[in-house]
């Protein structure tokens, strides 16, 4: 890049002396920048809010509101605080320069102006600002990628969890009736046996129900009707046991079902068994 050329940019010059504005405007304009001007701090704040310049050249010594106060207000504004501010001043006191830097200024240009110095300092800070913007964009892109990847991982984990739950359910439940299958019901039976062996007071009962002459249904009406009958049998058993949460119902095989009951006494188990028998006095209707 030509040492006297600036990247495309909008620069706000703030100075209460028209002569200084003219010199800086011509210098920066000839270098390729779009130049805006303001004669005081209040106008500078208004211009900055409206135009959002890429850089501000700010005179320190101004009436009403000096450059330090103007800079302080710029840095308090979330929309303006990232705009780099270069102070222009004839002050040489280190304390003044430190004050400006502490307020958020990025550099100083001393008066009287040297064209080479003005262009060099302005170019450096415009390039730094552009690098800062590019870094912010890269960070945003990286954060978005991380966010998307995180969502994808969570979705994958959830899908795997659902698959595992389905596989577990399928491995432990009867595909026709949805009841716990032989494997699950026998696992529960083993747990009941283990518990009762450790605690003699932990009573339970096992009831087995099979459908008499079920083979006749399959042979005469077909297996589809037989399957529908088994589904209805399972639902009726579940309905009978709704009031008995201590009972576990499962399908052993074919037309055989098993119930594990945690009733406290033989009489209670007998009453449950009688209710089941009575429930099966009612006919089943399958395909009319």
What gap in Å lies between CA 3 and CA 200, rounded to an integer? 97
Structure confidence at residue 203 (pLDDT): 81
Structure confidence at residue 1 (pLDDT): 54
Structure confidence at residue 10 (pLDDT): 94
With beta carbons less than 8 A apart as the criterion, state whether 211 and 254 touch: no
Maximum separation of any 2 CA atoms in the chain, in Å: 114
As a residue count, the chain comes to: 288
pLDDT in tens, the chain (288 residues): 566 788 899 999 999 999 999 999 999 999 999 999 999 999 999 999 999 999 999 999 988 899 999 999 999 999 999 999 999 988 777 887 888 889 899 999 988 888 888 999 999 999 998 998 899 899 999 999 999 999 999 999 999 999 999 998 888 888 888 889 899 989 988 988 888 888 877 788 888 988 888 888 888 888 888 889 899 989 988 888 877 777 888 898 888 999 888 776 788 888 888 888 888 888 888 877
Structure confidence at residue 199 (pLDDT): 82
Structure confidence at residue 286 (pLDDT): 81
What gap in Å lies between CA 14 and CA 34, rounded to an integer? 14
Question: DSSP of 257-274, one letter per residue?
Answer: EEEEE--SSHHHHHHHHH
Structure confidence at residue 264 (pLDDT): 66
pTM to 2 decimal places: 0.55
């Amino acid at each position: 890049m030509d040492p006297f050329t600036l990247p495309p940019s909008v620069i706000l010059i703030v100075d209460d002396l028209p002569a200084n504005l003219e010199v800086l405007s011509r210098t920066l304009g000839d270098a390729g920048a779009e130049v805006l001007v303001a004669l005081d701090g209040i106008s500078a704040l208004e211009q900055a809010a409206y135009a959002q310049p890429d850089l501000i050249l700010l005179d320190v010594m101004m009436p009403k509101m000096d450059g330090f106060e103007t800079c302080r207000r710029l840095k308090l504004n979330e929309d303006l605080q990232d705009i780099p501010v270069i102070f222009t001043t004839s002050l040489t006191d280190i304390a003044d320069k430190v004050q400006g830097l502490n307020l958020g200024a990025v550099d100083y240009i001393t008066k009287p102006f040297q064209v080479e110095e003005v262009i060099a300092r302005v170019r450096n800070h415009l390039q730094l600002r552009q690098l800062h913007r590019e870094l912010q964009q890269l960070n945003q892109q990286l954060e978005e990628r991380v966010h998307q990847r995180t969502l994808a991982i969570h979705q994958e984990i959830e899908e795997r969890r659902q698959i595992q739950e389905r596989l577990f359910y399928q491995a432990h439940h009867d595909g026709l009736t949805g009841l716990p299958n032989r494997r699950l019901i026998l696992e529960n039976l083993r747990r009941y046996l283990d518990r009762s062996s450790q605690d003699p007071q932990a009573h339970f009962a096992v009831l087995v129900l099979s459908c008499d002459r079920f083979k006749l249904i399959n042979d005469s009406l077909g297996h589809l009707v037989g399957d529908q009958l088994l589904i209805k049998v399972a639902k009726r058993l579940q309905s009978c046991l709704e009031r008995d949460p201590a009972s576990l119902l499962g399908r052993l095989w074919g037309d055989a079902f098993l119930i594990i009951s945690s009733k406290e006494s033989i009489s209670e188990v007998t009453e449950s068994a009688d209710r089941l028998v009575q429930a099966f006095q009612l006919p089943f209707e399958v395909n009319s």
